[in-house]
Structure 1
């Protein structure tokens, strides 16, 4: 199922993760409750759901998934705002969100934060 967001069609992640938890991971329902109660599901919420559900990844799977992540403008700005609020340097921010330092530097350049 897809929904419209900012004029784009995106997957309905809330429904996808809700179904996944109900069918395969009912024991993780309580952890998911705080995320599922949100009105809008952001990319950061998708990442949080992935961490709740798939805590044990092998290194190859993790590297593959990292290469295929995408971030919209709103999410990038939230990540950069997190950096300001928590007074992190680029390395600390990159480790926290599992990004490369180069990505963080590029975002800061592009968004002039």
Structure 2
């Protein structure tokens, strides 16, 4: 009877150690998934920023984006006030972009990723 209790006790200890190992593994998997989500979110933001930059470029050069999608590539010179407004908006977006980049790099440093 005591041998049976000893075997059950040893099996329970082995089960507990196996569960602890499994918990460590799941924490690592969760950490990696969170990191991948952060990286994906940042890549998506970079693509959005690149698209916005192209839009500002087309506006600055005087092309109408809606007309280009329809096949009309005529250029209209924007007036200086519009150019200043476009430049101010672009500079604001660039400040936000730099801030998001710093935030992303900080998150990577906190996660100890090179």
Same-fold call, TM > 0.5? no
Structure ID, larger Rg: 2
Q: Shorter-chain TM-score: which interval? A: under 0.3
Task: Identify, as 1 or 2, the structure richer in helix.
Answer: 2
**Larger % of strand: which?**
1
Tell me the TM-score normalised to structure 1 length: 0.21
Bigger RCO of structures 1 and 2 (CA < 8 A, at least 6 apart): 2
